[in-house]
Amino acid sequence: MKIIPTVVILFVCIIFIGCNQNAEKNEIGDEIEAPETVKSPELTEAEQEIIKSPDISLNKYKGIWMPFLREVRIYLNDTENLKSDGINIVAIGVKICYDGNITECESEEEIKSSINEFHRNGIKTFLVLNPAHPDFGIAPGSEEILLDDLTPIVLKWAEISERYGVEVFSPVNEPQLLSRSEEVSNWAQEILPDLRGIYRGKLAFIVQGDADGYPLYNLSGYDLIAAGGITCTKDIEDNPEWVERLVSENLNSLKASYPLQKYILFGVGAFTGEDYYYWEPIAAENMAESNPELPEDFFYVSDESQAEFYEMLFNITWNETEGYFIPVYRGWEYRDKPSEKVIRNWFSKNSYVADIS
């Protein structure tokens, strides 16, 4: 995972389906009906029941990002609180690894079951293949793997996403780890017709910003740009105006790079670091290798500063973006912290409705 001392914003777009006059409204104003249950004779016995996506007309994507099954399990046990926070969609990572072939390295059946359970609880889903972890098996930038090697598993999960009624599908998280920009751009266009032939939902492509801005991929034909990156730094404590300027600059950079497309902020957050994955690049013990020019605690912020960051972020970007996917993996959680009140207040807003027609 590439880490930079900046605030990068990720943008995903919101789907607005026509309102159903018979639908009830939940507490944040989204219209919702009971999810549809579908049975397919082509599935295995374990897969027979599929819970389709809830019939919700979203006024904005208000989501969380769960890159691994650990987080999925935690938040499946917390769906009522998620809905109280205004969460109407969750992004689920399909962890993939390479051992000569690219395969899932977490349970396919558990991922499918989890999609069903979120749908059963009235929450939509976003699915993305995730090689951005140290278990992947190939160092970032290696030429051992070609993006074409990803295509079969991408198409497999696009078909699963269609069958399970997933709202948004993205072929890969952090594609810059696997290949150069030109190759990513070509691959994004090569797979697009096949994706469109399999999957009828919204297609997102994740772009990862760095100190030089955003990579210029050819993403024409994709519905959404999910702009990835990291979050604020400890500078927010003494120099909040500096972090505020970085948020604005990154938003403007994204809009300049992709002027004709719509965005969501994907994985934007603030690292509080009480508990984190051992390989977290911005943890103090890993900074000497990942960011040797920076102080070890450069990316640590207090719970109060995390809340201040989210308030700042929403104030600057709310009317510029189609929604947010807040990271909730180890070290980035917002639940039971001051940030939860900020997120709940903003995600309960209904004043902005995106036109994504």
- In a domain, residue 4? The reply is no
The CA angle 260-125-341, to the nearest 5 degrees, is 90
| Residue 15, in any domain of the structure | no
- Is 152 buried (19+), middle (13-18) or exposed (0-12) by CB count in 10 A? exposed
Residue 195 forms part of a structural domain: yes
Among 279, 240, 206, 287, smallest CA distance to 8 is for 206
Q: Is 325 inside any structural domain?
A: yes
pLDDT in tens, the chain (357 residues): 444 444 333 333 322 223 333 344 454 455 545 455 544 445 554 555 899 999 988 889 999 999 999 999 999 999 999 999 999 999 999 999 988 889 999 999 999 999 999 999 999 999 999 998 888 877 666 666 678 889 999 999 999 999 999 999 999 998 888 888 889 999 999 999 999 999 999 999 999 877 677 888 999 999 999 998 766 778 888 889 988 988 898 899 899 999 999 999 999 889 898 787 777 787 788 888 888 888 888 888 999 999 999 999 999 999 999 999 999 998 899 999 999 999 999 998 753 344 333
Whether 227 and 9 have beta carbons less than 8 Å apart is answered as yes
Give pLDDT, residue 46: 54
- Considering only CA atoms, which of 204, 211, 154, 202 is closest in space to residue 178? 154
| Count of domains observed in the chain | 1
**Total-model pTM:** 0.83
Evaluate whether residue 14 is within a structural domain. no
- Residue 208 sits in a domain whose CATH number is 3.20.20.80
Instruction: Give a yes or no: residue 354 inside a domain.
Output: no
User: Longest C-alpha distance within the chain, in Å?
Assistant: 61
139 within some domain: yes
- Is 355 within a domain? no
Q: Amino acid letter at 280?
A: E
